[in-house]
Structure 1
Amino acid sequence: MFIAIDEVGNEIEAIYATRSKKYYCPVCQSEVIVKRGDFKIAHFSHQNINMCERYLYRRESPLHLKLKNDLYVMLKPHYDVRLEYYLHEIEQIPDCLVEYSVALEIQLSKISPSLILERTNGYKKLGIDVRWIHDDSTIVTKADTIFLNHFQISTMNEFHLFTVNSDTQTFFAYRVKGNVGGMRWLYEKEMISHHDLVRPINDIDEFIQMETDFISNEIKRARMMRSVRNKTLTYLYLLQVSADELPVFFRYLTPFERYIQESPLEWKLYLYYHIKNKSFNYHAFLDYITIRKINTNLTSRDIANGLLYDFKSLLRISNE
């Protein structure tokens, strides 16, 4: 950590600390020691990390320490920014807290989506927005497709993923536009400044028309799973239709389907079948959809209603 309390209660940055004085952790009040050297960023360390309440100050890698310090130095001339500010109400310590409204978290290690969402919701309770910042080298892309794991998905804010290039101190934002099945998404990548990290984020709702072979490729993927319980194949069988016979709106990606784990083809087939057979049941539809572990204020009903709105919009598109 970079901030400690001296013997008279003042906050002190590690770069200004002297080894002849005593310093204390702002969370657990146990004594900490200052560490620095020719190849080490100045920082404080617990003599025993187990002493710290709830392990809030964990051992951080040299890269994490460097990126956190670099970000603080960039922001300090322009904003009221606090480094490692302890939020006692939620027992969390953001790497940088900007204007008491935006938390910036360097997240180089992979942790569970549930823990990410727990921490995100903690910030929300205090009216603080959070940007989780990944190492850009860990992001996997191919052409216009980005491959995201559950951990990365949970860190998105308004379907934006933030990264940093640790060598060049360059920041990027990936706007995740549409899910094309499983963990594959369409995206746009943009270089941003450190100022953009603290500005409001606006998601852009859009319907994306895919190429003519999109449906047939998705059916091939379903068949490759070799599961008799595959719902995509089940509804195709029940509808007695081939890929070529499906309406054109099946080729569209919609905004709300990004929130669910069902493929862009499967959930549309589900609604298409039940509407055609006059067997649609709203509560059954709620049970059918599986919400991703994602940062959102929407309830499952909000998302279900959004999907139904998307589907009605697709029907209008097909009639134009």
Structure 2
Amino acid sequence: MLMAKDIQTNEVVSIHDANRNNKYCCPICHEPVIIKHGQHKIPHFAHARHHLCHAYKYKKESPLHLSMKHNLYQLFRHLNHRVALEYYIKDIEQIPDVFVNHHTAIEIQCSNIPFSDILMRSNGYYECGFDVVWIIDYQSLKFNGHLIDLTQFQQSLICGETLSIYALDNTTLQLHQIYLFSYCGDHTFMYYDHIISANDLLNRQSLNCKSSNNKLNHIPYHIKSNVIQDYIKRCRRKRNVNDLTLTAMYYAQRFDNTIPSCVGITTCHSLYCKISPVTWQMLLQSEQGTRLLIEHSFFMRTFYDDYKLTLTADRIDLLTTEYYDRINNIHNI
């Protein structure tokens, strides 16, 4: 932890203001803590006997996590926000990494955790009337030209309001909004990397990359034919008669591997569909397939959205309208 209570003055101080000659205790369980500052460790407080901390509220954090927490704290502090490190919210027994203006809880997540944990912790903040922002390490993101590959964990942190992931580059101390504007299948997205300020992060509802001068979301991108073929081969290897992609090919009367040129086109609204563009575009090739598409759920799984929502007829209209517009654009290029 980066904050502890001075036993003599009863004041909560930062590790950077701590004096090795003073004695400190945990602000929550009031058990003794010690200062740790080695050659390869970022300075921090640690419980003398960690198991004594009430309900283990303070988990063991990596040096990267501690460093990102401190750097975010300094970013908001320099902008004169009311900011606290490791503020204990007693009602829900949670400790946000950084708490800004007694309103926004910032959670830094450097390791994979289940989506259910993200949902539970986020809902805890919402029940108290607080906002929450999840931040990941920018260096952990896997960029591939104008595409980005996201793990299932990283996808679970997509902000449903802005269709973005927020990250801190701990080397440059820059905050990034990774705006996702099209899903390409196989956990791959088209993206726009937008550097934002700490103030932008607090007001992210009004920060909308879609209305910026970014032209990328108007570019029809066609998934390469060899990538489509590899995807279909993987589906076949599963030997699952209920595989949706193979079902779509059956409905579209595509028993061989010849795929029409109108399949594999990315669209903005495909971000809401959990299945590959190859699959749902094949489904659109037949009436039976279109009916089947309506029965499938959203792709988005975030704590802003109920991930069990069905793909409604309105969403299908938006999806198909944009899809056919993209086809026309490609033919006109």
Name the TM-score, length of structure 1 as normaliser: 0.81
Pick aligned residue for 1:175 from 173, 179, 187: 179
Deviation at 1:265, TM superposition (A): 2.7
> Who is 1:191 aligned against?
195
Which residues in structure 2 correspond to 1:107-126 (within 5 Å)?
107-126=109-128
Give the distance between the partners of 2:44 and 2:223, measured in 1 at CA.
56
Instruction: Return the letter of the residue paired with 1:221.
Output: Y
Which residues in structure 2 correspond to 1:204-283 (within 5 Å)?
204=210, 210-211=220-221, 217-227=227-237, 228=239, 229=241, 230-240=243-253, 243-244=259-260, 248=262, 251-255=265-269, 257-270=270-283, 273=286, 276-277=287-288, 280=291
* Pairing 1:67–2:78 present: no
Instruction: Return the letter of the residue paired with 2:172.
Output: T
Instruction: Return the letter of the residue paired with 1:222.
Output: I
Give the distance between the partners of 1:24 and 1:316, measured in 2 at CA.
64
> Who is 2:3 aligned against?
3
* Pairing 1:296–2:297 present: no
Distance 1:95 1:199, change over 3 A: same
Cα distance per residue 1:126-183 (max 9 Å; x no partner): 3333332222222111111100001111122232122222222222221111110121
Distance 1:262 1:299, change over 3 A: closer
Give the distance between the partners of 1:212 and 1:32, measured in 2 at CA.
57
| DSSP-derived class of the 1:301 partner | coil
RMSD, aligned CA: 3.4
Deviation at 1:303, TM superposition (A): 4.6
For structure 1, the 5+ residue unaligned runs are none
Instruction: Return the letter of the residue paired with 1:236.
Output: M
Q: Which shifted more, 107-116 or 12-21?
A: 12-21
Deviation at 1:292, TM superposition (A): 4.9
Instruction: Return the letter of the residue paired with 1:136.
Output: Y
* Pairing 1:47–2:48 present: yes
Give the distance between the partners of 1:213 and 1:167, measured in 2 at CA.
34
Distance 1:271 1:54, change over 3 A: farther
Distance 1:298 1:304, change over 3 A: farther
> Who is 2:106 aligned against?
104
Give the distance between the partners of 1:39 and 1:216, measured in 2 at CA.
46
Give the distance between the partners of 1:319 and 1:40, measured in 2 at CA.
57
Q: Contact 1:103 / 1:129 at 8 angstroms: preserved in 2?
A: yes
Instruction: Return the letter of the residue paired with 2:231.
Output: R
Q: Which shifted more, 296-305 or 159-168?
A: 296-305
> Who is 1:200 aligned against?
204
* Pairing 1:14–2:15 present: yes
Deviation at 1:91, TM superposition (A): 1.8
Distance 1:166 1:277, change over 3 A: closer
Q: Contact 1:49 / 1:58 at 8 angstroms: preserved in 2?
A: no
> Who is 2:94 aligned against?
92
Give the distance between the partners of 1:315 and 1:168, measured in 2 at CA.
39
| DSSP-derived class of the 1:26 partner | coil
> Who is 2:164 aligned against?
160
Give the distance between the partners of 2:217 and 2:172, measured in 1 at CA.
35
Distance 1:214 1:305, change over 3 A: farther
| DSSP-derived class of the 1:266 partner | helix
Deviation at 1:243, TM superposition (A): 3.0
Deviation at 1:87, TM superposition (A): 1.4
Give the distance between the partners of 1:58 and 1:212, measured in 2 at CA.
45
Q: Contact 2:183 / 2:266 at 8 angstroms: preserved in 1?
A: no
Cα distance per residue 1:105-129 (max 9 Å; x no partner): 2322232333223222222223333
Q: Which shifted more, 310-319 or 130-139?
A: 310-319
Q: Which shifted more, 162-171 or 73-82?
A: 162-171
Distance 1:193 1:260, change over 3 A: same
Instruction: Return the letter of the residue paired with 1:234.
Output: T
Q: Contact 2:150 / 2:187 at 8 angstroms: preserved in 1?
A: yes
Number of residue pairs aligned between Structure 1 and Structure 2: 312
Pick aligned residue for 1:308 from 302, 308, 316: 316
Give the distance between the partners of 2:318 and 2:88, measured in 1 at CA.
42
Instruction: Return the letter of the residue paired with 1:142.
Output: N
Instruction: Return the letter of the residue paired with 1:16.
Output: D
> Who is 1:24 aligned against?
25
Deviation at 1:291, TM superposition (A): 4.7
Give the distance between the partners of 1:92 and 1:305, measured in 2 at CA.
40
